[in-house]
Amino acid sequence: MDSLHAIGFYVSSGVSLAGALGVALLGGRDLRGASMAVVGVGLAGIYISLSAGLVAAVALVCYAGCALLVASPLYRPMASVVGPLWRQVGAVGAAGLLAVLVYSAFRGDFVHANFYGGAFGVANLGRLFFAHDALSTEALAVLVLVAFAGATAVWRVRERTR
Amino acid sequence: MTISLVAVFFVAAGLIAAGAFAAAWRRDVTAALAGVPLMFAGAGVAFAGVARFAAAGGPQLFGQEFAVVLAIAATALVALGLGIAGREGPR
């Protein structure tokens, strides 16, 4: 792995983490949506530097969709029923989670293996998706169908009862 | 300058923690929902990193496959959550 890949990885990581902090901290839907798009771009860069070109393309499309959904002015805000104390406990828990994950990554002893896949790997991934793991692909398709159909149904029922 | 699996895990940990923080900290539930794709992104980066650096024996692309599944599932869950939240009415 050459230096160019490494520079791309670290720059993309910075972009992705900056976007993630924007999603967590910025106010306003449009800013959150823009931050989500930045996360998608950084994520695609990370995947490309990890020789996962197809995953990068899919992530770019999916996170662009997420950004459009998050930035949309159409949905209604819902106030949380959780009090401020529990939200602060959750934030401290997220910091603790970060500490645990970083510590375990730092102290872990991982196997090192040579990678024989290509830079994009479409054919091999296609074989996995549609031959080896066809059932999981169908389950994912059902999940997407149920999610979008359920969202549409809930939306229409609320419109009718309004 | 090289990339290692530990560096990939650091980035994944940062994304997961940022997503958990957004989900816990936001007062608006629909804004907290935006933390879910961040956590899924962190998990996907970790899986792709394992596929790239540490998948010894067997098909090496399982991690990449799962990263694709996580990205699509994150989009579907955000769509479902915002659909349940409902549409903003005319004022």
pLDDT in tens, chain A (162 residues): 678 888 999 999 999 999 999 999 988 889 999 999 999 999 999 999 988 888 999 999 999 999 999 898 877 777 777 778 888 898 899 999 999 999 998 888 887 777 776 777 778 788 888 888 888 889 888 988 988 888 888 777 776 766
Of B15, B41, B78, the CB nearest to A69: B78
pLDDT band at B67 (very low <50, low <70, confident <90, very high): very high
Share of chain B above pLDDT 90, in %: 46
pLDDT value for B58: 60
Question: Contact B14/A66 with Cβ under 8 angstroms?
Answer: no
Q: Which residue has the higher pLDDT, B87 or A101?
A: A101
- Mean predicted confidence (pLDDT) in B37-43: 95
Question: Contact A52/B64 with Cβ under 8 angstroms?
Answer: yes
Strand partners, B87: A75
pLDDT band at B38 (very low <50, low <70, confident <90, very high): very high
State the Cα–Cα distance between residues B64 and A50, nearest whole angstrom: 10
Give the range of the structural domain holding residue B70, as residue numbers without chain letter: 5-88
pLDDT value for A140: 86
In the chain, the amino acid numbered A36 is M
Is residue B59 over pLDDT 70? no
Q: What is the DSSP code string of chain B?
A: ----HHHHHHHHHHHHHHHHHHHHH-SBHHHHTTHHHHHHHHHHHHHHHHHHHT--SS-TTHHHHHHHHHHHHHHHHHHHHHHHH-BPPP-
Chain B nearest CA to A8, separation (Å): 10
State the Cα–Cα distance between residues B17 and B39, nearest whole angstrom: 7
Q: What is the pTM of this model?
A: 0.88
Question: Is the ipTM beyond the 0.95 threshold?
Answer: no
Chain B nearest CA to A123, separation (Å): 11
Chain B CB contacts of A90 under 8 Å are: 20-21, 23-25
User: CB contact, 8 Å: B83 with chain A?
Assistant: yes
Task: Name the residue among B42, B32, B38, B46 with its Cα closest to residue B82.
Answer: B32
**Number of domains present in the structure of chain B:** 1
DSSP state of A75: B
pLDDT value for A1: 61
- Mean predicted confidence (pLDDT) in B73-87: 84
**CB burial of residue B35 (10 Å; 0-12, 13-18, 19+):** buried
DSSP state of A130: I
State the Cα–Cα distance between residues A134 and A50, nearest whole angstrom: 25
**CB burial of residue B58 (10 Å; 0-12, 13-18, 19+):** exposed
Question: Contact B44/A45 with Cβ under 8 angstroms?
Answer: no
The CATH number assigned to the domain holding B22 equals: 1.10.287
Angle A129-B45-A70 from CA coordinates, rounded to 5°: 90
Category of B90 on φ-ψ map: left (φ > 0), alpha (ψ -120 to 50) or beta: beta
pLDDT band at B91 (very low <50, low <70, confident <90, very high): very low
CB contact under 8 A, B21 and A95: yes
Provide the mean pLDDT of chain B.
86
User: CB contact, 8 Å: B36 with chain A?
Assistant: no
